[in-house]
Amino acid sequence: MTIDSPIERGKLRAVFSAMRPWQWVKNGLIIVAPAAAGTLLHANVARHTVIAFFAFCFVASGLYLLNDLRDVAADREHPTKRFRAIASGQLGARSARTAAVVLVVAGFLLPLAIPRPQNFYVVLGLYVVISLVYIFWLKNVAVIELGAVASGYFLRAIAGAAASHIAVSSWFLVVVSFGALFLVVGKRDGELKQIGAGTTRKVLAEYSSNFLDSALTMCASVVVTGYCLWAFDASSTGLSKNHDGVMAGRLSVIPVVFAMLFILRSVEAGNGAAPEDLVLHDRTVQLLILVWAILMAVGVYQ
């Protein structure tokens, strides 16, 4: 095997790789709503959250397989995506389609273990519909495709609340919505700077670095503003509802601001093509997330 050759995989390893398990970190958003509501440690809520997490993992992985089948020709021209299991020929189209169906069906069966799962099924169904429309059409429609991808993050965050019937703050929804858009715009900006407006993602030809940088600044501004309002909100859904932990909740603004600045710097340097990599591999981002999580835990559960 040369440096330009794909990693040799058996069929099971090829399927597992095509499921992109490293991207399951995105499903961690499902935890945020019940954690912020102070109910995550309740046995039923914890169980519902775990079920919702794996339901999204299975469904998302099934959709990743369908997406890779759709994009196989373009992926073979990409400097890194050409090593994916389907693009490299290590996973056949028939096996990939079968695995995709099994995963999506499994993802829809899991929530049956949640009492009154109707709201969760609405969220999961919307995720599937928007993802399919994106795969087969919207991915080539400039600007709209940004919203379609960002909706996946938003729906994950809502899913955690829907699984346990938790009321969420309007400011939480603002933060999640524009935070998701921030990550997607950052990814496009990173791709544009790294590989240019080539054939691997046609929609990149519709964007300029100036437009994407402006969109990033706008999203970052809304995220920070929305989070500050959520952190200082003393209503039943705000982070300052717990009098004993009000200071910690408000101090959680600090790691959020620094994380946004660090990600902006990373994107400007051309390192924003895979935002989840910052969570998985970058020590600074991991430290900021840890500090934020500690402050949130103290603020909500003290």
At residue 85, the pLDDT reads 83
How far does CA 74 lie from the centroid of its chain?
A: 23
The model's confidence at residue 175, banded by pLDDT at 50, 70 and 90, is very high
At residue 146, the pLDDT reads 94
The average pLDDT across 220-248 equals 87
Is residue 228 scored above 90 in pLDDT? yes
Domain contains 281: yes
The average pLDDT across 132-150 equals 92
Alpha helices per DSSP H over the chain: 11-18, 29-36, 43-70, 72-75, 93-109, 118-136, 144-164, 170-195, 209-231, 246-251, 253-268, 275-281, 283-301
CB 20 within 8 Å of CB 64? yes
- Max distance between CA atoms of the chain, in angstroms, equals 61
Domain that residue 248 falls in:
169-302
pLDDT digits (tens, 9 = 90+) for 237-246: 888 887 777 8
Domain contains 61: no
Beta-carbon contacts of 125 under 8 Å, excluding residues fewer than 6 positions away, are none
Q: Report the alpha-carbon distance of residue 254 to residue 301 in Å, rounded.
A: 19
pLDDT, averaged across the chain: 87
Domain contains 16: no
Domain contains 150: no
Task: Indicate the number of domains in the chain.
Answer: 1
Q: Which position has the higher pLDDT, 270 or 120? A: 120
pLDDT digits (tens, 9 = 90+) for 99-130: 999 999 999 999 999 999 999 999 999 999 99
At residue 2, the pLDDT reads 37
Q: Report the alpha-carbon distance of residue 177 to residue 167 in Å, rounded.
A: 17
Q: Report the alpha-carbon distance of residue 229 to residue 240 in Å, rounded.
A: 10
The model's confidence at residue 222, banded by pLDDT at 50, 70 and 90, is very high
The average pLDDT across 149-176 equals 92
The average pLDDT across 119-147 equals 94
Amino acid at 208: S
DSSP character at residue 273:
S
How many CB atoms lie under 10 A from the CB of residue 87? 22
The model's confidence at residue 78, banded by pLDDT at 50, 70 and 90, is confident
Domain contains 100: no
Alpha helices per DSSP H over 232-252: 246-251
The model's confidence at residue 3, banded by pLDDT at 50, 70 and 90, is very low
Retrieve residue 195's tokens: 């590989």
Helix (H, G, I), strand (E, B) or coil at 85: coil
At residue 276, the pLDDT reads 61
- What is the pTM (predicted TM-score) of this model? 0.85
Is residue 283 packed enough to be buried (19+ CB in 10 Å), middle (13-18) or exposed (0-12)?
Answer: exposed
Q: Report the alpha-carbon distance of residue 48 to residue 117 in Å, rounded.
A: 10
